[in-house]
Every structure is written in C-alpha cells, then in structure tokens.
Amino acid sequence: MFPDADQLKFAFVALCALASFSYGKRVCDTRDAFYLRIAMCLTVCADFCLLILYQNIPGILFFCCVQCAYTARYGGYRRAALLLAVWAVLFPMFIIMLPFQTAVSAVYAVSFAFSLFSAAEAFAKKIYPFPNGILALLGMCLFAICDINVAMYNTHIPFFDARAAVIFTVMWAAYLPAQAMLSASGFGYRFAARK
C-alpha cells in the first residue's frame, strides 16, 4: 500500500531534518547548527501532529516553539527570551478573548513575526556568509507565504473558500522548499564567503 500525500509530505520534512544532522562538523557555525537542528526537530514534531495525528493544537504549539528556536538562531537567546516574555503576557489575554485554537494561532503569528524579523535583520547585517544568509532568509520568506495561505485556507471566508485549491497548492509549494532551504542554510559550503 502506497503512502498518502500527507505521509509523503511528512517524510520530506523528516528528511530535511535528518539532512541538517548529516553535515557533521561541516556546518556554517556550531551555535547556528544547534538552533537550526532544534528548530528542524520541532518542525518534525509539529508536522507529525498535523499530518499524521491530525491534531491541530499540539501542532501549532510545536510550531510556536519552532519559531522561538529560529528567533534564537537569528537574533540570539536574548531575543528568544523576549519572545517567551511576550508569550507570557499575550497568551492569557488571547485565551480570555478568543477560542483556544485561535488564541494559540495568534501566539504563533506573533512568534513568526519575531523570527522573520530576526532573519531579515541577520541578513541585513551580513551575519551569515554567502549562500547561507540567502538560503535562511528565502526559507523564512517561503515559510511566511505558507503560513499566510494556511490562515486564508482556514478562515472559511467565501472569497478564500472559492480559491481553496489554489491556496492549498501554494501553501505546500512554499512550505516544502522552505524546509529544504532552511536545512541547507546550516551547511558549511567550501566556497562560502562573506559579502
């Protein structure tokens, strides 16, 4: 029996995570590799919940942790600590005002904003050598495109519902390359040089 589409997507994400460990000592930076590998492993956990178990809330919570790890990767542990403090303030407020899954999704949106800003800032400051910086930023931008489409897909607004097939396709067309690029962004390329 052949695996279904969700199982194949999960397998691809898992392979991207495994690839980030296969580099051994040939990494861009040991601290960077540490946070990248944490983020990739948490991504596997998130997608296992979403694609295999079909449990949205645990999956979104894992993705919050993914974005915290990426925030630490690009912006340092102090910015990640700031994100955790923001969680502590916002989550109780969102729980009061919103349904639980919506509250968790809102916390995730804030978390992603932190990690995307941190990735753009790291690229602007040329913290990463070429091509690692470009791969990291493009991966995060594709991740953002995926998440925007996930939000549109799940709002059930008639305008978006009428375009659900296109939105679904764009979602995965952005997400899978994002994981590949993020995994590749940790590799220590022999020709890598700072711009």
Q: Do 28 and 128 form a contact (C-beta atoms < 8 A)?
A: yes
Lookup: tokens for 173: 């067309």
Q: Which residues of 70-193 form beta strands (DSSP E)?
A: none
Q: Do 115 and 178 form a contact (C-beta atoms < 8 A)?
A: no
For the chain, give the mean pLDDT. 93
pTM, to two decimals: 0.93
Dmax over CA atoms of the chain, in Å, equals 52
Give the pLDDT confidence score for residue 157 in this predicted structure.
84
Q: Which tens digit of pLDDT belongs to each residue from 42-91?
A: 999 999 999 999 999 999 999 999 999 999 999 999 999 999 999 999 99
* Rounded-to-integer distance, Cα 168 and Cα 68, Å: 26
% of the chain surpassing 70 pLDDT: 96
Query: Is residue 146 pLDDT above 90, yes or no?
Result: yes
